[in-house]
Amino acid sequence: MSDEQLDRIREQFTRTADVYARMRQTTDTRALDGLVALCDPPRSARALDVACGPGFLTLALARRCDSAIGFDATDAFLDLARAEALHREQRNVRFEHGDAEHLPFEPGSFDLVTCRAAFHHFPQPGRVLSEMVRVLAPGGRILVADMLGSDDAGSATLHDRIERLCDPTHERALPAEELANLFAKTGLSTAREVHSSLEYDLDEWIAHGAPGDTARSEIVSLMESCLEEDRADLAARRVEGRLRFRHRTAAFVLEHSARG
């Protein structure tokens, strides 16, 4: 990842870390435990959570695995994660700083490598995925969970425009087919796949990115333009006078193709 992109990510999430860490979608224990259960790691597993943010998935992994490491580029997130681990008295977890394209771990170091809600931030997600594969032990599994982009190019472009207005570090939401092709090119096959959606109140969602007034107004205007025709494939609608929308999401549990 370029130094410029890393600096933008650090600036954005240092500024918004506290708000992001309080979002229901970030802290939802049931959803986090569901992702861990989907991976079905053995108790002896060593887990790595790439782009861990405030560390809630890392902590969920640590409850199920022998050990877990959360890895992120933003110190403000890591500080929150360490404080939460201390509060919970979870001692089999630690948090490290760095670039997801250059993981500072030996090949085969982990039995489970996860990445949640982050692939849309990576300019070259294939490089991150290749690093995740490199540090995966034989017989291990990878989890990739993220929002999905639309299969329609026009809808995908508008969706990404809205995301970028809220959070300028957003690169692109990948469609499911593109993710599947990326996995196959990296020598991975899908062992399990779950599709769902996340529902948002627009004002609450905007708060997590803390855009300026001009960008905020443009987001609202674009969402309103999607009420009659779902131009961004986000199911924009009014509920009791408030704008709401949804992200389509998917979680993929991956294994090396040669391992079946």
What residue type is assigned to position 19 of the chain?
A: V
Q: Of 46, 103, 44, 116, nearest to 71 (Cα)?
A: 103
Do residues 76 and 14 make contact, with C-beta atoms less than 8 angstroms apart?
yes
- Specify whether the backbone of 35 is left (phi greater than 0), alpha (psi in -120 to 50) or beta: alpha
Q: Give the pLDDT confidence score for residue 258 in this predicted structure.
A: 59
37 alpha carbon, distance to own chain's centre: 17
Q: For residues 9-14, give the mean pLDDT.
A: 93
Kindly tell me if the per-residue pLDDT of 83 is higher than 60: yes
Do residues 247 and 234 make contact, with C-beta atoms less than 8 angstroms apart?
yes
Q: Give the pLDDT confidence score for residue 127 in this predicted structure.
A: 97
Q: How far apart are CA 228 and CA 231, in angstroms?
A: 9
161-208 pLDDT, tens digit each: 999 999 999 999 999 999 999 999 999 999 999 999 999 999 999 999
Q: For residues 88-112, give the mean pLDDT.
A: 97
128-147 pLDDT, tens digit each: 999 999 999 999 999 999 99
Specify the number of domains making up the chain. 1
In a domain, 80, yes or no: yes
In a domain, 208, yes or no: no
In a domain, 31, yes or no: yes
CATH number of the domain that residue 51 is part of: 3.40.50.150
Range of the domain at 19: 3-149+168-199+248-259
| Average pLDDT, rounded, for the chain | 96
Q: What percent of the chain has pLDDT over 70?
A: 99
Do residues 86 and 62 make contact, with C-beta atoms less than 8 angstroms apart?
no
Say what the pTM is.
Answer: 0.95
In a domain, 61, yes or no: yes
Q: How far apart are CA 71 and CA 48, in angstroms?
A: 7
In a domain, 230, yes or no: no
47-59 pLDDT, tens digit each: 999 999 999 999 9
In a domain, 86, yes or no: yes
